[in-house]
Chain A
Amino acid sequence: MSNVIKVKILLVDDREDNLLSMESILEKGQYQLVKASSGNGALKILLKEWDFTLILMDVEMPGMNGLETAAMIYQREKLKHIPIIFITANSYGDEKLFKGYETGAVDYIYKPIQPDLLFAKVAVFVDLYRKNHQLLEQEQKLKAINKNLEIEIRDRIASEEKVKELNKQLLKNIEKLESANKEMDQFANIASHDLQEPLRKIRMFNDFIVLKYRNKLDNEGQMYLDRIKIACERMQILINDIHTFSKIDVTKNDLEYSDMNILFKEVLSEMDTLIKKKNAKVSIDPLPSLYVFPSLMKLLFRNLLSNSLKFSNDDLEPMIRITAIMEAPDDSSSKIKVNKYWRINVQDNGIGFEQQYANKIFTFFKRLQGNSENEGTGVGLSICKKIADVHRGHISAKSVVNKGTVFTISLPVETSFAAISPS
């Protein structure tokens, strides 16, 4: 805010000495003084300049007197706000002549002029003017602020609308994705079902031939029948695996606070026959309890265990060790809450693989074994990865050829969506 408001005063008097005396009285006010020696002269000046704070005007002037001049001045809209102090020698009621004009805008000083009074009166008007000016400035500032606010609000509304639009788009996309997902689901369901059907029949008829005509075939023929059976079984497992993979659907399950020890033990008892057949030793260290989808987690464990049993070393008794460790984030200085993970390791002493393939094994249909003798379908570990993913965790593998493999499942201690899911 500019503290110095320019004050400009017009002095009108036909007598030079009066003008001079007014000038000297007002000198200490440091006002800008403009002088006119007649009503006409004053009007002339006011034609070009209208930023006067105040007019001091002698009433008795030759030609147009002060009152007439004032009347002319006040006819102009631009000048109406300028207060006039009349300087008059008599008190015959001149003041009444200007009754109709804005009150407060007109005042009188009687001759002989008392310097203090004149100065004080002028000072009052100047003060008033300054205050008005300040108010005006503030008003303008407020208006500007208001305008900015309006613009801001408009912008905000616009951006809100944009957000709404984006949200709408997002919802639409989600809807599309959901329906695509559903279609995929249905496709996987139908495909696996329809693929399974003819296969089932091939196998049935193969069984018929084995049951009814096996004895009529020589060894080679019998071997072919066995091969057909094995191929069919493989295909059935494969289709089932794909079906399982496509069915990993979090929305249909609930997170449950589950004891991993119990889940693992359940899996072990389900796989008991296979474990005994392979003469495998399985040891389980104490495991944590976590928020998981129990059926999916069991599937993950089952796949890892059967993977270890499948790729066991022929010369060794399969040993599978399950351990767990809490991975604590080391930067305790950080104020950001870092998610802690439980790491569950499934370690075997099987044939292993080259570490360079460690990431590829989780890819769909990726099998490191070229020969069909190994029973894997290449889906099992993809299922494991997907299950780890839906738990916001991850899975990795470390392996040394002929020494064994360690699969590590990392699961967040606090599952961020635990609260969302009704348990």
Chain B
Amino acid sequence: MQHDCLHVLLADDDKDDRLFFKYAIEELKIQTVVTTVNDGVELMDYLSKTENQKPDLVFLDLNMPRKGGMECLKEIRNNKSFNDLSIAIYSTSGSEKDIEESFVLGANIYITKPNDFTSLKKILAEVININWQYHTSGLNKENFVLSI
């Protein structure tokens, strides 16, 4: 039952952004379970607990207190048990440096937080509909940054 719908996890310290995210996914009317955590420490805690349902896709904010997104990304990619976990960077920063670094560290896609709700819905729809198996195997920098 649980495997029929996609499990999406968002790690973002910004309350408003978590709200936008949930509401946008709700609007998309896709069978999706959304879990949110407030920072990197909470994310790693969540992932390490076996009783928690493993997400299919993690949206990772970069700039978070306690533990930032890059650090989480590093830890996740260094842990073999998370091999099939897709990670979408979800940040307000569109800086080359962040894009480069997260690409090198093994993120699957880079999303700059959209400026309006319509774009947000569009972009989430696109990310959720990506065939991740395929996307991961064809990893390249051209389609790393997702823009609408």
* Residue ranges of A at the interface with B (Cβ–Cβ < 8 Å): 189, 193, 196-197, 199-201, 203-205, 207-208, 211, 236
Contacts and interface: CB of A to CB of B under 8 A. Distances in A.
Nearest to A240: B115
Nearest to B94: A193
A196 B92 contact: yes
Nearest to B24: A204
A348 B116 CA distance: 33
A189 B98 CA distance: 13
A201 B120 CA distance: 12
Interface string B95-135: 10000000000000000010111101000000000000000
B115 A203 contact: yes
Nearest to A196: B92
A200 B117 contact: no
6 contacts: A196-B92, A200-B92, A204-B16, A204-B120, A205-B16, A207-B118
A203 B116 contact: yes
Interface in B73-104: 92-93, 95
A200 B113 CA distance: 9
Contact of B20 (A197, A199, A204): A204
Contacts of B20: 204
Given A203-B117, A205-B16, 19 more contacts: A189-B95, A193-B92, A196-B92, A196-B115, A197-B92, A199-B115, A200-B92, A200-B115, A201-B16, A203-B115, A203-B116, A204-B16, A204-B20, A204-B120, A207-B118, A208-B23, A211-B27, A211-B117, A236-B115
3 closest Cβ contacts across the A-B interface? A207-B117, A201-B16, A204-B20
Contact of A208 (B95, B113, B117): B117
Contacts of A205: 16
Nearest to B27: A211
A239 to B, nearest CB: 10
B93 A193 contact: yes
B95 A207 contact: no
Interface in B21-61: 23, 27
Contacts of A211: 27, 117
A72 to B, nearest CB: 98
Nearest to A197: B92
A204 B23 CA distance: 11
Contacts of A236: 115
B24 to A, nearest CB: 9
Contacts of A207: 116-118
Contacts of A197: 92
A11 to B, nearest CB: 102
Contacts of A200: 92, 113, 115
Q: Which among A193, A205, A207, A236 has the greatest number of chain B C-beta atoms within 10 A?
A: A207
A208 B20 CA distance: 9
Contacts of B115: 196, 199-200, 203, 236
A256 B77 CA distance: 38
A189 B95 CA distance: 9
A374 B48 CA distance: 54
Contacts of B113: 200
Contact of A204 (B92, B93, B95, B116): B116
A185 to B, nearest CB: 11
B148 to A, nearest CB: 14
B39 to A, nearest CB: 17
A196 B116 CA distance: 12
Contacts of B92: 193, 196-197, 200
A189 B118 CA distance: 26
Contacts of B93: 193
Contacts of B27: 211
A201 B117 CA distance: 10
B96 to A, nearest CB: 9
Residue from B117, B118, B120 having most chain A Cβ neighbours under 10 A:
B117
A45 B20 CA distance: 121
Contacts of B16: 201, 204-205
A265 B117 CA distance: 32
Nearest to A211: B117
Contacts of B117: 203-204, 207-208, 211
Contacts of A193: 92-93
Contacts of A203: 115-117
Contacts of A201: 16
Contacts of A189: 95
A15 to B, nearest CB: 113
